[in-house]
Structure 1
Amino acid sequence: MIKRVIDTKVVNLDELKLEKFSAVGGKFEGESARIGQLLGAKELGYSYDVVQPGKVSCPFHSHAAEEEMFFIVKGTGTLRYGTETRKVRAGDVICCPVGGPDTAHQLVNDSNAELAYISVSTMMPAEVCEYPDSKKIGAYGGNSPSRLKHMTMANAAVDYWKDE
């Protein structure tokens, strides 16, 4: 059977091969599949994430360049956004625009069942993220395996003219 081009642009969530991840002693844990790469997306990144009860998939963070959207597919949890929180459930669509600490966001599975969601983001060639809980800043650039990735503490500022 010949695979049609249109068939390479569609995938069902049930057919995804999820990759498990865990960090910080299991505080951050989940399963994920990068759908955008799988389907050949060029300008948008999208993934499917499943988070077990009591877990969080990523640190509380904001973006300087990339906008994100989340669609809750299954379950319930809590959205942290800026200084506020609210319950979210299957069917909710969440907007996380570019900004500073006021747009920092995180999905927490504080329920007794799986929380599953689709993430969509603009794929910018350069990005800076702030992490208010840990007071870190991350700078990212390029799309190659050797892309720039640098994390530093927010209070570790260096003067622009230092060592010039």
Structure 2
Amino acid sequence: MEIRPATDDDWPAIWPFLHRIMADGETYTWPRDVTEDQARGRWLAPPPARVLVAVDDDGTVLGTAKLTPNQLGPGAHVANASFLVAPAAAGRGVGRALAEHVLDLARALGYRDMQFNAVVATNTRAVGLWRSLGFAVVGRVPEGFRHPREGYVDLLVMHRRL
């Protein structure tokens, strides 16, 4: 697996699984009916964002990640990141590889910390991955997410020093 910067040419491969994940409504606070243009603008964000893709040997996009400052100005030393793994690639280590790459990139770019603002508590795979990479839950928004099957569930704020 190779992890590299995303290009505009990667969007046609990212959109189908991004769209499916958002439409499922289980793990992201995005609108479930997000349009392709809206999603492209949000995911392929301009600098200082860094957008990456994980691809297999034949160039198939397996997942993608976006690294941005969590806040602007005096808070810009804390990174934020978002990750999406194509459902067909789930369980193959794509999320972990992207996460480790993004953590290294964030350090290299001079970020001091990384914070996730809205990890859905029922997303146990993601919560487990972040914990295994040294993230701790530093806050909880009770019933901050309306899950399509579970009803109102908590959102976690997770953090780690870099």
With the length of structure 2 as denominator, give the TM-score of the two structures. 0.30
More helix by share: 2
Larger strand proportion, structure 1 or 2?
A: 1
TM-score in terms of structure 1 length: 0.30
Larger radius of gyration: 1
